[in-house]
Chain A
Amino acid sequence: MAGQSLSVPSKPRFQFKPRFRKLLPYLGISTLGLVILLLFLAPLGYMSLTAFKTIVQVRDTHSQGLPASPINFTYQGAEYPLLMVPTEDGVRELALVKPGREESDYVDPQNPEAGTFTVVGRWRTFDPVYAFDPTLDNFPTSWEQVNLGRLFRNTIFIATLGTIGTLLSSILVAYGFARFRVPGIGILFLILISTIILPRQVTLIPTYIFFRTIGWGGTWLPLIVPHFFANAYNVFLLRQYFRSIPRDLDEAATLDGATPWQVLWHVILPQSIPALIAVGLFHFFFAWNDFFEPLVYLQGREDLYTISIGMTQFNNIFNTQPGLAMAASMMAIALPLVMFFLAQRVFVQGIVVTGVEK
């Protein structure tokens, strides 16, 4: 794509043209990018708009994207919707009092004293008069109904402890793999990596039976404790990072009499902050999203549910009330998204810096 601009010979007669030619790919690619991005993020738009709709608005087949309600006109103590009704005198805004299939009774809001009159024509084919009418009720209601506050507390608790566990254990193990000449360590590392392709379903049933036997069924322990024993991805990641730290540094420290603990603490860790943050965040996001294990271990213990299964268990509520579902969804993604935007420098920007350098 860059080639296009280069292959075109510039014509001296039009000074602005080469510059414009140079701008063209920027314009083209950026527009393309914007269109793709908008399509990509459209579901978030759907989510946000629906979150502000009442159930009646959701079901309204005329409804545009925005949360809007038909304007009603009060006639003799009851409310009737305004429609754009084509009559002999052009299209008029009339209130539909008594709907019928082929003809309906209307009242003119300008002149209610005249009473109702009949207009022939199918009211369903007339456009209602809408007004922008968002509701905020879905947020407190869904918060209440599915007990989102408790789901949040539970999930944060599980995710935080698991993150601490996986950080502690993975640091130790990765350090072990990165720095110590233990016989057979190559094979051990190979085994570690190969556990990545071992489907956890293979270990699931015995593990489940085991936890149940020791009384951990219906508790959070199976969701937290295992993370204190390191896992392949995190160890792999940290090990690669630790290995990138020059050995001279820790050898110097060792010569000064530092124990491996001290080397890890004073030399390795301070230089590995980005990796640690990344591992921590990924675990946190993982725990936030995890579905399978809470489903298996927390069956029926509603008071212990995490967000993922908590929201699924109220499938019916969310099926019958899309507004609530989307409001709850917006709240459920808020924390991970905030964390992501705060931390995005760690990964996305880092790559950019390196890329520019080249």
Chain B
Amino acid sequence: MTSVEALAAGPLFGLPLPELWFALVFAMLGTFLFLDGFDFGAGAIFATLEDGEARETVLSAIGPFWDGNEVWLVVFGGALFAAFPAVYANLFSRHYLLMFGILGALILRGLAPEMYEQRHDERWQRWWGRSFIAGSVLAPFLLGAFAGNWLVGSPRSFTLAGIVVGVTVTALTVVSGAAFLRLKAADALPASVRRIGLGAVAAYLLSVVVTLGVLAVRLPAGVDALVTAPVIALVVASVALAGGYALALRRGANLAALAAAAGLTYGLVSVVALLMYPSMDPAAGLTVGEAIVSTLPLNLMSIGAALLLPLVATYFVVLYSAFSGPISAGEAY
């Protein structure tokens, strides 16, 4: 078959496909961390709300969205598996117990809102409320720990770098969550949500500073890896975005605040990707070029992604348009 031979002969249009897939995998991770991040953050903020109606409002705000948001994790995993199978295999098997911790947290976070709404007695809702909170806080922390270990190339489940990145990611999800909840239900939720957002963005900046300090010591290339123009630019941009976020949240420009939170999330993921490249799995000593699949499947996947990702973006536009604007009182879960 000539078409197959052509697809196996060389990269499509001569594109640097391994690098593109490296970027795409991290973009998918970033999209997951932003979209499901505000669901996680909503779960953490849920913990601070005692009032039953306020809690219902939080669940209604994320109700139509969280499932679609979480699929980005599946897509990230699938893309990593398909493009860099050796990295997928090494990374996941190396952090065996950590991965199952993440899965456990995601199970709790996924089941809890659905179950919470099934019964309206106090004991049932108290326990599923706790599951929701535990899952929402543990999932980003463990994911951050996973990313930190990945970056510094440690085979251990818990490392200092992992813990500080975990805290950073958790703070970031609260930043996104506060902006999202203000956007969807400012009137139905107490003003404390705004204060939580402002506190979270301060905590985020602080934990970024600590993380950079830890990375300077733990990264194989040390401080030199951090003092590069793109990394410095991203750090500066993050500080500016954090300031913009605080200002926007104070002024009630909640969509702008959410956009700033998105910027912060993609910024953080970009720093991780920049620090890692050209390595793809430092602990296993695999570079992007070594870990990528061969030309034929790579070309096929690239065609698939080029056709499907715009479609996926359309689904999200339709979904978020259908539920645009604040949720109204009594809009049942």
A pairs with B: no
